[in-house]
Chain A
Amino acid sequence: MNEIEAKEFEAELRKIKPAQAPDPLLRRLEGARKCSFHPESRPPEGSVSWNLLLRWLGAGTATAMAVFFAWRLGWKPPGWGVRADSKPAATLKADGVEVDQKLVSSFDAVAQLPGGQPVRFRVQNWMDHVVVSDKDRGLVIDHSNPRVEVVPVRFETY
């Protein structure tokens, strides 16, 4: 197909017009225009929006006030003034450590699996006790922690 034939064919195609848009769609487009576009709400290009300016001014003032009061009260954020290379306080040098555990109680509990098979658990309550002392500093850390141990026990080995 040469250029002239293409032009003629194109002209023939153009004679066939696209179907008109249905009225409901035209009404929707009209409605969408009215609902979606409000020129009054958009500022002229290049002009200052006073609402926006006031909003930023308000936020800036509140932040400045907060910083000022924090400074007056001597508050410092965590890590403020601490240098990264500063050494931590001297560590604890324990010269005595005692670890102990006491069995407080022990009992067995029997439960039933969904299939009806019995299963036995041994429940033991322990009390762990740790004492760390540093005589040079006159420091004693005494810590106790309860612990529950549940162990399933097979009937054959019970």
Chain B
Amino acid sequence: MKSGWRNETVSESDWEQWVALHAPRLLLFARQQARCEADAQDLVQEAVVESWRQQRDGATPPPALVYATIRRRAIDLARREGRRATREAMSQLAPPARWFEPELEDRERGRLIENAMSTLPEIYREVITLKVWGELTFAEIAVALEIPANTAASRYRYGLAELRKVTKGILA
């Protein structure tokens, strides 16, 4: 598969697998960065395409790069005042999308975790999301959030402890 240019590009099935694995994770992160579902989905699509174009060999982009791009684009989006007004108007119309899989047995737990995560400061929430559900290393989180790896690790530990306090009784 890696012998030449044409062969190095991902096949259709490879791409579908990559999307199936990473799209929910990326969308979870994007939903925390954006203020409405439509913006979150736009962020994911734009970030995936942008990150992919940067790959010279046509391979799937590294997740850390896609997360970093989502975050950068979300910041750009928030700076655009016109878009913000539209987004707020839309967020009032559309019901907020659930962050976690609404399986019957986990539905209540997922909702409580989502609520608990919402109470965390963003700097902790984004590190926890990338580590737990994005499955990134601290080095990758450091790249995605443009912070030192040690800071990422300390924020994770502190955020995890705070989340545990809030969710005491819900999780072990």
- B-binding residues in A (CB < 8 A): 1, 5-6, 8-10, 12-22, 24-26, 28-30, 32-33, 36-37, 39-40, 42-45
Contacts and interface: CB of A to CB of B under 8 A. Distances in A.
Contacts of A30: 15-16, 19
A30 B18 CA distance: 11
Contacts of B98: 19
B172 A25 contact: no
B41 A28 contact: yes
Contact of A44 (B5, B44, B101): B5
Nearest to B19: A29
Contact of A39 (B41, B58, B97): B58
Interface stretch (B45-53, B79-87, B141-149): B45-53
Interface of B: 4-6, 9, 15-16, 19-20, 23-28, 41, 44-45, 48-49, 52-53, 56-58, 97-103, 106, 109-110, 113, 128, 131-133, 157, 160-161, 163-164, 171-172
A14 B15 contact: no
Indicate the member of A16, A20, A30, A39 with the most B CB atoms within 10 Å.
Answer: A16
Closest 8 CB pairs of A and B: A21-B23, A18-B28, A18-B24, A17-B101, A44-B5, A12-B171, A39-B9, A25-B41
Contacts of B160: 1, 6, 9-10
A9 B164 contact: yes
B160 to A, nearest CB: 6
Contacts of A10: 131-132, 160
Given A33-B15, A42-B5, A44-B5, A16 B24 contact: no
Interface SS of chain B: helix
B27 A25 contact: yes
Given A10-B160, A25-B44, A44-B4, A19 B58 contact: no
B25 A6 contact: no
Contacts of B161: 1, 6
Nearest to A28: B45
Contact of B27 (A15, A19, A32): A19
Contacts of A28: 41, 45
19 contacts: A1-B164, A8-B172, A9-B160, A9-B164, A9-B171, A9-B172, A13-B133, A13-B171, A16-B100, A16-B109, A16-B113, A19-B99, A25-B41, A26-B23, A29-B44, A30-B15, A33-B52, A36-B49, A45-B57
Contact of B49 (A6, A13, A32): A32
A28 B20 CA distance: 13
B41 to A, nearest CB: 5
A9 B56 CA distance: 39
Contacts of A43: 5
